[in-house]
Structure 1
Amino acid sequence: MARIPVFLRGAVVSGALALLAAGNVAQAATYGAGIENSQWYLSESVFECTLVHQVPGYGRAVFRHRAGESLSFFLESETPLMRPGRGMLVVEAPSWRPGTAPRTLGRVNVEDGRRTVSLDSRQAMILVQGLLEGMDPTLTRQSWYDGSPVRVKVSNINFSGQFSGYRSCTSGLLPVNYDQIKRSRVPFSAGSTSLSGADRRLLDNIVAYVQADSTVERIFVDGHTDSSGSRIDNRALSEERARVVADYLIDEGIDSDLITVRAHADQFPASNRPADNRRTTIRLQREGERPDLQQANGYDAASPNS
C-alpha cells in the first residue's frame, strides 16, 4: 500500500474530517410514527372538531375546525427542535411504497415557541388530501443546535377512518364560536328601533351559542343613540333599542334572568360618525371572566363595548 507523504497527511486528515462533518449535516433526524404506533384521535363537540396525531419524539399534529371558522392545521412541540425560519413542506410516499414521487407544497413559516407551524384552510385541505391518498406530509427545517435537517412526518395510517368521523362532527358545529359573538353590535337607522334580517340572523346565532354553552352566565344589552335630539328623547330611544334586542333574545328562548338591559342615550359615542353611535351592543360573559373590570356603562377598561 502506497504511503502518504508527510507534508500531505494534514491535508488528507482535514479533508476526511470535512467529509465526515458534511455527512453528519446531511443526515436528517426524522420524527414520525410507524405502522405499529400511528394513531389519530378525534375530539368532537358542537364547539370544535379536532383530529390529533402524536408524532413520537417531536410533539403532535392537529387538524382543528372551530365553529364558525374553516379547517386549520398546526404542529406543536414541547421542545424547540427546529430553527425559526422557512421550512420545506412536501407530501411523500411512506417507505413501504417506493417509487412514488413526492409532491412539493412549498415553504412554510417555522415559528419560535410551542406552536411551530400553522397552516390555513387551503393548505390544511391539501394535507388532508395527501393523507387520504396514503401519503405522508413531511416538514424539513434546520435544527436549532447544529443546522442539520430535522424532518417531521405526519403518518397517514389510521387517518381515513377518523376523518370520516371528523366530517360528521363538522356537520353539527354551531354557526359561530364564542370569540365571534362575545361582543356583537346591532346598528340602527336614525330614529329607528327596527331589526333587519341580518340583525335577526346575528341574534339567532347568539341564541344558538348561548343555549349550547352553559358557562355563559350574563348577557349585557346596551342601547345607544347619536347626539341629535334631546337627552330625554335619546334616553327613551336607547332604551327601546336595547329592549327590542333583549325581547328578541327572550322570545327565541334565552332565559330573561341572564339578560341585563341598560340605556345610555348618547353618553358613550363609539366614534365621531353619528351612524356608528346608533346601536345596541350585546356582550356575553362566561363564568370565571372578570366582571370587576367592567365599567357600569357596559365598557371594559381594555376594550370599549362599541
Structure 2
Amino acid sequence: MALAFSRKSRKLLGTLALGIFFPGAGLAGSYGAGISNSQWYLAESVFECSLVHEVPGYGRAVFRHRAGESLSFFLESESRLMRPGRGALVVEAPVWRPGVAPRPVGTVNISEGRRPVSLETRQAVVLAQGLLDGMRPTVTRASWYDGSPVRVQVSNINFNGQYQLYRSCAANLLPVNIDQIGRSRVAFASGSRNLSEADMNMLDDIVAYLMADTTVERVFVDGHSDSVGSRIDNRALSEDRANVVADYLKNRGVDPDLITVRAHGDQYPVSRRAAENRRTTIRLQREGDRPELQQANGYGGASAG
C-alpha cells in the first residue's frame, strides 16, 4: 500500500535522514556550554600545554602551546556542521551580561576535516584575553547543508583558574620541539672545525630536548665537506666536524651510546654552492620511526656511510 506524505512531512523526513547519514546535520543553531556544564582541563608536559574545553553537541575548543612555538587555538568536531569558507569571529558578552557590545575580531577560515577552525597566535591571544574579561568568543558560519547560521561559543566559566595553571606550564616548556630540532645542521667556514656561539646555543637546545624525551633511541651525527682539495683531506675534515659536534653533545651530558658518528667527505653534496656543503647534520630517531633509506644529505637524512 502506497503511503502519502504532506510537504511538511517530507521535509521532516529529509531532515531526519540527514541526521542519520550525516552526523550533525539538521542541528544548525548555537553550541556552547552553560553555567552548569562549562569545564576547562589542562593537559601539561614539558613538550606541550593544552587547555581543553568541551562544547556540548559540537566538539572541543583547544588552546595549544607547543615547546618552541606560540599559543594557538582550534575547534575540533567529528560532525561536519559549517560550510567551508569565511566565518565571523567575535568576542561577545554572555546572556547574563546584557548591554555589553560585542567586539569583532575578524574573519576566520572554515576548512574541511576534524579541525575546521585553526587560529594563529594573534587571534588566539585575543580569544584568551576575551575569556579572562568574562566574554564568550563565538565563531559563526553558514551550515553546510542549508545555509542557516551555526554559532559555536566558547565559555568563559571556570577558564581563569585553569589559564593561570597554563601560564605556569608554559613557563616550563622546553625551548624547542622535535619538529624544530629533529633534523638540524651546523655550517662551517672553509677549512674550519670550530663551533660558533649560535651553533652552541642550538646544540644546547638539542641537549635539553634529549634529556627530556626518553623515546629518542639514536642521534646520527654526519660530517660533510665541500669538494675543494683532496678526497682524503676532505674525509678527515668531515670526520673532525662530526666529532666536534658529537663531543659537544657528550660533554653536555648526552649518553655517548645514543650517538652514531659518521664522516662522508664530499660524497653527498646538497648544493652547487660550496658553503652549503660544509656542514654537520644531526638527526634524532625516536622509537617507532622508520629507518631512513636515503643518502646522508640535506638536514640530517643520513643512513649511508
| Structure-2-length-normalised TM-score | 0.88
CA distance in 2, matches of 1:114, 1:269: 41
Contact 2:221 2:242 in 1 (8 A): yes
**Where do 5+ consecutive residues of structure 1 fail to align?**
1-26
Residues 1-306 of structure 1 correspond to what in structure 2 (within 5 A)? 29-291=29-291, 293-295=292-294, 297-298=295-296, 304=301
Contact 2:185 2:300 in 1 (8 A): no
CA distance in 1, matches of 2:57, 2:84: 19
Calculate the aligned-residue CA RMSD, in Å: 1.5
CA distance in 2, matches of 1:243, 1:298: 16
Q: Kindly state the Cα deviation for residue 304 of structure 1 after the two structures are TM-superposed.
A: 4.8
CA distance in 2, matches of 1:148, 1:303: 51
Q: Kindly state the Cα deviation for residue 298 of structure 1 after the two structures are TM-superposed.
A: 3.3
CA distance in 1, matches of 2:90, 2:64: 20
Q: Which structure has the greater CA radius of gyration?
A: 1
Q: Kindly state the Cα deviation for residue 106 of structure 1 after the two structures are TM-superposed.
A: 1.3
CA distance in 2, matches of 1:108, 1:303: 36
CA distance in 1, matches of 2:207, 2:141: 46
Contact 1:220 1:298 in 2 (8 A): no
Q: What percentage of aligned pairs have identical amino acids?
A: 72
How many aligned positions are there? 276
Task: Show structure 1 runs of 4+ deviating over 6 A.
Answer: none
For 1:143, give the aligned amino acid: S
CA distance in 1, matches of 2:49, 2:141: 29
**Where do 5+ consecutive residues of structure 2 fail to align?**
1-26
For 2:244, give the aligned amino acid: V
CA distance in 1, matches of 2:110, 2:59: 14
Structure 2 equivalent of residue 18 of structure 1? none
Contact 2:183 2:300 in 1 (8 A): no
| Structure-1-length-normalised TM-score | 0.88
CA distance in 2, matches of 1:28, 1:258: 54
Q: Kindly state the Cα deviation for residue 281 of structure 1 after the two structures are TM-superposed.
A: 0.2
For 2:172, give the aligned amino acid: G
Contact 1:89 1:104 in 2 (8 A): yes
